[in-house]
Every structure is written in structure tokens, then in C-alpha cells.
Amino acid sequence: MNIMRTAMLLAFMTALFMGVGYLIGGTGGMGIAFLFAAGMNLFSYWNADKMVLRMHNAMEVDARTAPEYYEIVRGLAQNAGLPMPKVYLINEDQPNAFATGRNPQNAAVAATTGLLQRLTPQEVAGVMAHELAHVQNRDTLIMTVTATLAGAISMLGNFAFFMGGGSNRENNNPLGAIGVIVAMIVAPFAAMIVQMAISRTREYSADRRGAEICGNPIWLASALQKIAIAAGRIPNEEAERNPATAPLFIINPLSGQRMDSLFSTHPATENRIAALQQMAGEFAGAVPVRPAAPRSPTPSGPWGGGSASSTPRRSNVPNTGNKGPWS
């Protein structure tokens, strides 16, 4: 159902883009809009992941520079049957994370230093499992295409504003000035709604699959609660400068959304937590996945540094004695 809904929304977005071109320039404008959209999507398909990571000053880490964090991602990727993604760290106090990449073979996951500092290893595992679920479901590509089309529609709306209605007959615009007004105001607004709807649809699916990957829905539920509270208090300056990337994050980095409204980029956190808590009953008796301590004899913290006295923090999840997939 989610796949069909997403496909329908993407088809509507494409049709909307071509419709805006038709309203501005008739059949010729529609053809130009189609070529423009194809070019932007081709560029974003190959380069969007690098652009997003660069926007947020993400730094790639490995088993040497971030042993605990890297080991969590590695174990979860094995558990999900995915290739090992590139792992990035963002020097940002707001706890958050996102995934990007056109497919599982070219994927990357990124977490902020605030996330690793404020969450337990179990909660970090829940968050990164959610991001790997996005990779497995190809959500990163879907969101990239949607964001590209939404941005292109807004650009066409701006073009309609500067063009005005004086050349409607020359451009074979069938609706005249009304068509220009629709292209200028209604179309970008509709594109924004579709982009938000796709993001919200995919978050619920990623929550469920992420809970399956890490083996315990409560870890992700607890993490979502902590992240949502902190995101409402701690500003994310890079996200504020690049709001188009907000739907990629596990929690809206721009504001603490508390209602499932038409204008939110993410579902209400309370609803997501409730769904995960309901899932917890389905996982009764399942073997949970537990983050492992670093392999080095001296723990160095989830992103490197630290001291010999550093130890993973405990969570309120009972210790079952079961080993995770990386043990």
C-alpha cells in the first residue's frame, strides 16, 4: 500500500510539473518542462548524496576513528542483509540522523555528535536501523526525486511571476493570466504538500522495518522521544540554511512538530512511538539485537577520543544475555 501510494504521489508530482509548463508556455512549455525535469533528476540521481553530506559538513568515519558508532552500523547492516554503507558524523549538537544514496550499494548514513552523546547504544542502534530501513526501501532515492521536482516546480512558479501574463498568446497559454497565477501560486504549494506526504508515508514504514532490523521497537521509540524533545530546544543551523533536506532526517530538524498536520514533514512523534509500542508485543520472545562494545581493549567513545574509563551507557531495556549479530 505504501509503495502504491508513493508511486501515485510521484506520478502526480511529475504531471504537476508538466502541467505548470503547459500553463506557462502551452505544449512547447510542457516539453521544455519535461526535459528540464529529466535533466535535474539525472543530475540529482548521481550527485544528491554528495550534495546533502556537503551541506551538513559531514565527515566520513571508520572503525578506527569511531569504533562504537561504526560497529553498530556494521552489525545492523549485516542483520538487514545490506552492503556496508559509508558512515558519516556531523558535528552538530542537535541529536538527529539521516540516510542518503541512490541505492544500497551507494548508500551513506550520518548521525550528529549530539545523537551519540545523548542516546544510549541501544537507542543509537534503533535510530541507525531506521536509517538503514530507508536505504533498503529505496526511500532515499524517492525523496531525492521528489525534492528535485518540488524545487523545479517552485522555480517554474518564480518564472511565471517574472514572465507575467503579457506573452500568453505568444506562448499559447490556454488559460491566459489565470494559468500564470495558478503556476505561480497553486503549483508550488501543491508540490510542497506532495513532498511532505511522501516523507510522512515513508517514515512509518522505516520505523517498522527499523524495529525488525534492530530487534527491539522500544529502542527506537525511546530514541524518537529524546530526539523530538531535543530538536525542539536545540537549533540546527545547517538545516535551517538548507530546509529542503529536512524530510531526510529521522525527526524534523527545523522545529518540534507535535501534530499530524498536512504541513508537517514528519508524522507526529507521539503517533510513531505509539505504533512502535504496539509492535513491541509482536516482538515478544524475539532475540533482540544489542550494540556491542568496541573491540579495542580501551573504549574510546562512539566517535573517537574519550578515556579508558568510558563505558557504554545502560538503557532501561532488560539485558537478556543474547548476543547481537556482530558479537
Cα 191 from Cα 150, distance rounded (Å): 5
Nearest CA to 113 out of 138, 89, 132 is that of 89
Q: In what order do the strands lie in the sheet with 108-112?
A: 59-61, 86-90, 108-112, 97-100
130 annotated binding-site participant: yes
What is the torsional sign of CA 55, 132, 288, 75? negative
131 counts as catalytic = yes
Q: Can you read off the three cell numbers belonging to residue 76? A: 545492523
CB 252 within 8 A of CB 246: yes
Of the candidates 67, 137, 80, 144, the one whose C-alpha atom is nearest the C-alpha of residue 300 is 67
Select which of 123, 131, 212, 238 is catalytic: 131
Rounded (10°) angle between helices 121-136 and 187-214: 120
Say if residue 71 carries a ligand binding annotation.
no
Angle at 303 between CA 298 and CA 306, to 5 degrees: 45
- Tell me how far apart the alpha carbons of residues 230 and 115 are, in angstroms, rounded to a whole number: 10
Can you spell out the DSSP letters for 240-277?
A: HH-GGGGGGBSS-SSS---S--TT-SS--HHHHHHHHH
In whole angstroms, what is the distance from residue 89 CA to residue 64 CA?
13
Q: Report d(CA 275, CA 217) in Å as an integer.
A: 9
Is 203 labelled as part of a ligand binding site? yes
Distance CA 165, CA 253 (A): 39
Distances from the Cα of 228 to the Cα of 52, 91, 115, 206, angstroms: 22, 18, 11, 17
C-alpha cell at 295: 573491540
Annotated binding residues for Zn(2+), written as ranges, equal 130, 134, 203
Any idea which residues carry the catalytic annotation? Answer: 131
